[in-house]
Amino acid sequence: GLKMTLSNCVKCCNLYKAPVLIYKHESDINKLEQRNHLFFFGKFYDFKRDEFSKIPIQKDENGFRFHGKRFICPENSFYYVNKSCTQMYFCKNSEQYQLNPFLMGIGAYSLHINADNQVLMTGLYM
């Protein structure tokens, strides 16, 4: 499930010392915890708190938008890291779609937009 996917991703990316992961719903994150590094996973259009939506991607009904282009297919997903590297997003449009972080084309760029784990767009967007 979700915890295994995230745990495997963190272990793969950090070979020396894995961080402690605490799993919370966005509504359970308090002001003090917002200063920590946050890893968002799920359907971006379902996020309720505006402070977690201040990124180049905008929410859209059943999906997301980037520079006016809509991504509303169930297999659309994105990866984004903010400028200070304190917030990371692995977001998808459907609970049925199994997001594979290892196939998303994650690399030096802060944004990757995907369809069925194939990169559609990538670049530096802060």
What does DSSP assign to residue 18?
A: P
Q: How many CA atoms lie within 13 A of 89 on its CB side?
A: 28
Q: pLDDT of 34-66, one tens digit each?
A: 888 888 888 899 988 887 778 999 999 989 999
Average of per-residue pLDDT across 25-36 = 87
pLDDT tens-place string over residues 1-21: 666 666 666 555 555 566 677
- HEC-encoded secondary structure of 67-119: CCEEECCCCEEEEEECCCCCEEEEEECCCCCCCCHHHCCCCCCCEEEEECCEE
pTM summary value: 0.78
Planar angle of CA 99, 14, 86, nearest 5 degrees: 75
